[in-house]
Structure 1
Amino acid sequence: MLSDAFYLSVDYLLTIIPVMVIGVVAAEFLVEIGWIHKIGFIVSPLIRFAHLREECSISFITAFGSPAASNSMLKKLYDDGIIERKELIVASLINSFPSIIMHWRTMLPVFIPLLGMAGMIYLGILTAVGLLRTLVTLLIGRFLLNEKKYVPNNIIHQPYSFSKSLKMSVKKSRKTIYRIITMTIPVTILVFVMIDAGFFEVLAAFLKEHAVFVPVPGEALPIIAAQFTANIAAYTIAGNLLSAGILNTKEIVVSLLVGKILSSIMSIRILIPYYVGIFGSKLGTQIMIYSALLREGILIIATVMLAIFWQV
């Protein structure tokens, strides 16, 4: 029912919008108090290698805690004219790796008891894919962007007091916050209406039908099918098949990777309001596509190589 879609969208908005707003204000606040130049040195070698401005370093660090806040910071820098469009795209793609590291805290308690070594290998592959994706993006930035002249810390302007900096940050962030809210709300509601109408279930059913053509044993198909609805269910099924000796470690890992690739279409229902809400319709869609192509492309290559060269 439409009422269910509305309530689900409100629940999602109440979760994501506060984080975006905090990210925008925090980006401006860190600039005002001068912290960008104090802690940016932590990741400055990576930022400089990719020919990004040093302001992007704060966004990368923030991504370890909140990817939404991190990307909101980048959009604020873009709106203020501090970074260009290409820099925004490259920096956003680089920021994807910290979020993978943060998933460890929720994934490890599930993988270890259910899958043991197979789960650790699967998680390690996902992490390696995320790292490789970031390295590729760093190289793209180095060749795509112009080298920057980095300003030494000793000539940076004196920051304002804490209270004044906070007030100025809120004031300067109003325009960006208004744009984020007015864009995120209608897009989110539309996506949840599409979910309620069964649009994504149709896509999932289509992919399930074609899962029989992937190079995995027939016994592994329940794992792949379960990943379209709930990852926990897929991991539970995989653990049972592994403990029963029906599938070995290699077959479990490859099946989980194949399922993740095929079921990635389901993530669109969350990614659309997320990216469009932060970056706007055109730029958000562009970043979402680039991110998906890099992620799925590298994951497909890794899965094929494992299937071919992993000797049991």
Structure 2
Amino acid sequence: MEFDFSWPVLWNGLFWPLIRLTFFISVALLVGIVIESLHWTRFAAKLAEPLARRARLKDVSAASFAMAFFSGLTANTMLSGAHERGDISDRELILSNLFNALPTYFLHLPTILFIATPFIGAAASIYVGLTAFAAVLRTMAIVLAGKFLLPPLEEGCIPCRLDEMESMRDTSSALKKAWKRFLKRLPRILFLTCPIYALFFFLKQAGLFAWLQDGLAGTVPLFTFLPPEALSIVAFHMVAEFQAGLAAASALMTDTALTQTQVVLALMLGNVLSSPMRAFRHQFPYYAGIFRPRMAFKLILYNQVSRGVSIALVGVGYAVFSMYF
């Protein structure tokens, strides 16, 4: 086994790519956080009233949907209060919480997109677009389910609380909070990105991926649609954070022959497999503080099942489309 650690190899294969990656990640992360903090996704919340009417959801559910574009905590607190007062049933609480999948996703979409783009380029738009489409499918499924599972609404207008949110916004304060969030999140991202990128550089030098190709090909029948290199993206996505999977994908796209489709499918598979445990680990304490523990467990379970199924369906559709077109 021969290692080439000459300066040209280290500079071109490790140091310069990491410098470029760090710069673009810093810029992209700051832009994404500013977009979130200034609520520039506000226009999409106008979907709340017609969608809520079709889903037979009450005014508090529609207001929660609109509020979820700005704060998931506030949206869930509204639903919890209405449920405790008896304004909405258990069934409507569950459907309303699932109904918020779309605004909850769009709340963080700018940051996800701006973080992913420096890592995997054009594949980021495809990945984000597919996962966003999965969120749209989940919301549409809830609209359809509501028509069959909930009683008809009483006549009247569903109030919109967007003006109240607009009046609460302070641009100067939002920018200060955005800068604080940036300073807090950037070191965490780089702490994962730099070691993982370096690790993949040295693993390639050690011939690991050639060994995987020879030793593991055909031994993972469930995931035979992905090469062994792509499965490492899935593994990093599962055992670490989203940025770890992106760092692995970036290194592999640079140093191996992974296609854009394989990278996107690996990230989607990692998304499906990693989300449930991460959700229960991080979300349950927060949900249990808003809802009763039993209901909090049910909400997380329903969310994860619907999320996994929708992303899997979209991923299969994308794989089939890529195969024939």
CA distance in 2, matches of 1:46, 1:112: 31
Contact 1:49 1:142 in 2 (8 A): yes
Contact 2:101 2:135 in 1 (8 A): yes
After superposing the two structures, state which structure 1 stretch, 71-80 or 282-291, moved more: 282-291
CA distance in 2, matches of 1:233, 1:91: 32
Contact 2:234 2:245 in 1 (8 A): yes
CA distance in 2, matches of 1:133, 1:142: 15
Gaps of 5+ in 1: 1-39, 155-161, 163-209
Q: Match of 2:230?
A: 220
Q: Match of 2:127?
A: 122
Q: Match of 1:298?
A: 310
Q: Does 1:246 align with 2:257?
A: yes
CA distance in 2, matches of 1:309, 1:41: 32
Code of the aligned partner of 2:48: V
Q: Match of 2:85?
A: 80
CA distance in 2, matches of 1:152, 1:44: 9
SS at match of 1:278: coil
**Matches for 1:39-118 after TM superposition, within 5 Å:** 43-118=48-123
Aligned-residue offset at 1:214: 1.6
Contact 2:130 2:315 in 1 (8 A): no
Aligned-residue offset at 1:211: 6.8
Contact 2:288 2:296 in 1 (8 A): yes
Contact 2:62 2:158 in 1 (8 A): no
After superposing the two structures, state which structure 1 stretch, 109-118 or 269-278, moved more: 269-278
* TM-score normalised by the chain length of structure 1: 0.65
Query: RMSD of aligned C-alpha atoms?
Result: 2.4
Aligned-residue offset at 1:100: 0.8
**Matches for 1:1-312 after TM superposition, within 5 Å:** 43-151=48-156, 213-215=222-224, 216-228=226-238, 229-267=240-278, 268-311=280-323
Residue by residue over 1:79-134, the C-alpha shift from the partner in whole angstroms, topping out at 9 and shown as x without a partner, is 11222221111111111211111212211221111111111100111100001001
Code of the aligned partner of 1:263: S
Contact 2:79 2:93 in 1 (8 A): yes
* TM-score normalised by the chain length of structure 2: 0.63
Residue by residue over 1:176-216, the C-alpha shift from the partner in whole angstroms, topping out at 9 and shown as x without a partner, is xxxxxxxxxxxxxxxxxxxxxxxxxxxxxxxxxx9774231
CA distance in 1, matches of 2:47, 2:141: 20
